[in-house]
Amino acid sequence: MDLSFTAAEEAFREEARTWLAENVPAEPLASMDTPDGFEEHRAWEHVLFDAGWGVVSWPRRYGGREASLVEWLIFEEEYWASGAPGRVSSNGVSLLAPTIFDFGTPEQKDRFLVPMARGDEIWAQGWSEPDAGSDLAGINTKAPRDGEHFVIDGQKTWCSRGAFADWFFCLVRTDPHSERHAGLSYLLVPGDTEGLEARAIGRLDGEPGFAELFFDGARVHERYLLGGEGEGWAVAMATTGSERGLNLRAPGRFVAAADRLVGLYRELADSRGPDLDRRDQVVGAWMGAQAYRWQTYATESRLRGGAPIGSEASFMKVLWSELDVELHATALRLLGRDGERADSSWMDGYVFALSGPIYAGTNEIQRNIISERVLGLPRR
Amino acid sequence: MDFSFGDDQVMLRNAVRALLAHECPPEVVRAAWESDTGRTDGLWAALAEMGVVGMTAPTSVGGLGMDETDLVLLLEEAGRAALPEPLLEHTAVGIPTLAEAGGPVADAWLERAAAGEATLGAGPADGYAVGAAACDLVLLIGDQVGAVPVDGATLVEHRSIDGSRRLFEVGGDAVVLDADPALAFDRAAAAAAAQCAGVAQHLLEATVEYAAQRFQFGKPVGSYQAVKHHLADAALKIEFARPAAHHAAWCIAVGDSDRSRDVSLAKALASEAVDLAARTALQCHGAIGYTYEHDLHLWMKRGWALSAAWGDAAWHRNRIAAALGI
């Protein structure tokens, strides 16, 4: 056990911190869930990628710097502490890319990874359907084969930034007579495919950040099949490991938010005096972020030792999503009469945080996974 | 950045786990509750034989020269077994504090403590020293660290809800040691955090086992989501408390500048974890867990005691606030 960072890791941290201090936009960008804000965030992805900070952990041939997982965690700490914009490319980079690395053909890797990492092609996830949310194996969008193509008919929904995205990674039923986990395939669908229409849905904040996807005879070439035909469930489960675990929401994000919350308390206490109940809520948020941070470094050590990240990812997902809600709720309580104001980043953060316990598998599903697959309680 | 324990550390943990599985079953813990001292007949001697009792002493006085990162897994095991022996007071606090202080008190006691021939107690100066009557020298930790030989001290005993923990107010002439009282306190709090994590882990495992074999409405009660989600929540608290406890141990071992803040993080998380584990274990056992005959209460009461000892969650949360400047 050695919980210090190596000289190389400290140098990496310093390099990231210096670059971010010089390059992070001084003014916050418009919301990435609006058409203009989406393009502003895309332009920021170009800046990051061109400077070598877009995908630090990736191989050099795809634009990364082959950073270790510890270095990636350090980068995330510095990134969020610097106040840099949200990552509009994250669904592709964090969720799809690990699956392409594992299951993609060499041609698929060469075709997709760099444009994804640079933000030239931004990806959205097409999994949920109106009648299949938590019960993902209940999806019903059909895509039977027709020669070299799959022909998609059906509907996807709750597709984040689907109205603006360039590509979609979808789970579809290529064997139309199959049921449940069998007969599914993982298809990469160009946004301009004929027979595909994306319609924006207003999210809780009113921004058009959700979309429904309507497929009406949309033809997708077989070169866009990721993994084997009919093996989509196994491929998709590889993605959920990334989604729930540390890829999508690294601790740095919450450590930075908790530090800002501490700063907010300090600022308000200077003018209004101390409030010990709320101070304790601030401490609780800080503790949650630190607990996640150390648990993640501990998990990284286990992964380096060869252990797989399995159902334990569900621990992380429950922790960070519930922490995020509490942290922002605490900030709104601290703000008092200003808590309800719509022009605060804390309110934006609160509204976004409320989606966390729902997406990527609801926290009720995660607790089922923890109790059944980690603790070994009987399924029925 | 490497959280993994070395092969030697894991082997020692496994050896202690095997010893306690054989020699410290619930019957032995129950017997300790009824004994004169609250302790067992032979377990301390067996641990001394393994080198565990004196492991934190320098090799020059017969110890193993090990540190908190070597000890932390054993403290977890002590919690898992509800071991009624002074591993915290003697090995985690007493020996390192005496070794730090040096001087005549250390000269008189350290070698014998390392060999397990003399037992060291420890307690907050304004609190209770657990098991003091069965110790030879007690360290009282407050604004300074005072050492009081038990022979000649005045002891006032109180009962703990945990029958193996005999609580003593200790009076008498204390020799002030040249040791940092904040460090001594942090050693105790961090060790209590590790023990809390171990107690919580046992409570969780015992309850999972019970919930899988207890049938109601024709199904194991552990198949119902209401029960599952209680247990998932307890597991979650433990999952995030343990790395923080390991980190706290490391902070002490290397003298990290954020030591006190991060020991408080560990103890607050561990206290909250064992509190929830105890509450959940009782609720999921139902009425059988509420009986004196069932073993559950041995761990539940140890959990209550350790959760509050050396600063409860609220105390440590306040200390974090102070460290954060709020």
Q: What is the CATH number of the domain that holds B197?
A: 1.20.140.10
- Distance between CA atoms of residues A217 and A206, nearest Å: 31
pLDDT beyond 80 at A260? yes
Range with lowest mean pLDDT among A51-60, A277-286, A300-309 = A300-309
Domain coverage including residue B225 = 182-323
CA atoms within 13 A on the CB side of B112: 12
Find the DSSP H helices in chain B. 7-23, 26-34, 43-49, 68-80, 95-101, 103-115, 181-213, 225-254, 259-285, 296-308, 313-323
Q: Considering its fold, how many domains does chain B have in total?
A: 1
Does residue B46 fall inside a structural domain? no
pLDDT for the residue numbered A242 = 62
What's the whole-number mean pLDDT along residues A157-179?
A: 96
Range with lowest mean pLDDT among A108-117, A202-211, A235-244, B255-264 = A235-244
Per-residue pLDDT of chain B (326 residues; tens, 9 = 90+): 999 999 999 999 999 999 999 999 999 999 999 999 999 999 999 999 999 999 999 999 999 999 999 999 999 999 999 999 999 999 999 999 999 999 999 999 999 999 999 999 999 999 999 999 999 999 999 999 999 999 999 999 999 999 999 999 999 999 999 999 999 999 999 999 999 999 999 999 999 999 999 999 999 999 999 999 999 999 999 999 999 999 999 999 999 999 999 999 999 999 999 999 999 999 999 999 999 999 999 999 999 999 999 999 999 999 999 999 99
- Distance between CA atoms of residues A38 and A160, nearest Å: 12
Q: How confident is the model at residue A310 (pLDDT cuts 50, 70, 90)?
A: confident
Share of chain A above pLDDT 90, in %: 91
- Cα-atom radius of gyration of chain A, to the nearest Å? 21
pLDDT beyond 90 at A241? no
What's the whole-number mean pLDDT along residues A267-287?
A: 95
**Do A298 and B246 count as a contact with CB atoms less than 8 A apart?**
yes
| Best CA proximity match to A23, nearest among A101, A82, A63 | A82
Choose from B203, B210, B233, B239 for mutation: most chain A CBs within 10 A: B239
| Best CA proximity match to A237, nearest among A138, A361, A145 | A361
- Cα-flanking dihedrals φ and ψ of residue A247, to 5°? -65, -50
DSSP per residue over A248-266, as a string? TS-HHHHHHHHHHHHHHHH
Q: How confident is the model at residue A303 (pLDDT cuts 50, 70, 90)?
A: confident
Q: Is domain A245-374 given the CATH code 1.10.1060.10 in the classification?
A: no
- Which one-letter DSSP state was computed for residue A92? I
What's the Cα-to-Cα distance from B94 to each of A54, A238, A262, A267, B214, rounded to whole Å?
51, 50, 36, 42, 44
Does residue B87 fall inside a structural domain? no
Does residue B155 fall inside a structural domain? no
| Best CA proximity match to A356, nearest among A312, A331, A325, A335 | A325
Q: Residue A72 in contact with residue A250, Cβ under 8 Å?
A: yes
Does residue B111 fall inside a structural domain? no
Distance from CA of B179 to the nearest CA of A (A): 25
Does residue B96 fall inside a structural domain? no
Active site residue A10: no
- Hey, what long-range contacts does A306-311 have (CB within 8 A, 24 or more apart)? A309/A241, A309/A245, A310/A241, A310/A373, A311/A369, A311/A370, A311/A373, A311/A374
CATH T-level assignment (fold) for domain A123-230: Butyryl-CoA Dehydrogenase, subunit A; domain 2 (2.40.110)
Nearest to B239 among A283, A295, A366 (CB): A295
Put simply, whether A262 touches B (Cβ < 8 Å) is yes
What's the Cα-to-Cα distance from A137 to each of A127, A143, A376, rounded to whole Å?
10, 15, 22
Residues A28-42: tens digit of each pLDDT: 999 999 999 999 999
pLDDT for the residue numbered A243 = 60
Of all residues in chain B, the one with the smallest CA distance to A380 is B223
**Do A4 and B254 count as a contact with CB atoms less than 8 A apart?**
yes
pLDDT for the residue numbered A134 = 87
* Dihedral Cα A129, A132, A136, A137, nearest 10 deg: -110
Helix or strand run (H / E) with residue A294 = helix A276-304
pLDDT beyond 70 at A246? no
Question: Could you tell me the residue ranges of all domains in chain A?
Answer: 7-88, 123-230, 245-374
What's the whole-number mean pLDDT along residues A249-255?
A: 95
Put simply, whether A1 touches B (Cβ < 8 Å) is yes
Residues A69-84: tens digit of each pLDDT: 999 999 999 999 999 9
Put simply, whether A113 touches B (Cβ < 8 Å) is no
- Which one-letter DSSP state was computed for residue B254? H
| Best CA proximity match to B213, nearest among A376, A367, A369, A368 | A376
What is the ipTM, given to two decimal places? Answer: 0.97
pLDDT for the residue numbered A248 = 74
What's the whole-number mean pLDDT along residues A123-139?
A: 94
Query: Could you say which of A77, A129, A207, A243 is catalytic?
Result: A243
* Dihedral Cα A335, A336, A342, A346, nearest 10 deg: 30
Distance from CA of B9 to the nearest CA of A (A): 10
Does residue B97 fall inside a structural domain? no
- Which amino acid, residue A119? G
Range with lowest mean pLDDT among A125-134, A233-242, A313-322, B21-30 = A233-242
- Which one-letter DSSP state was computed for residue B163? T
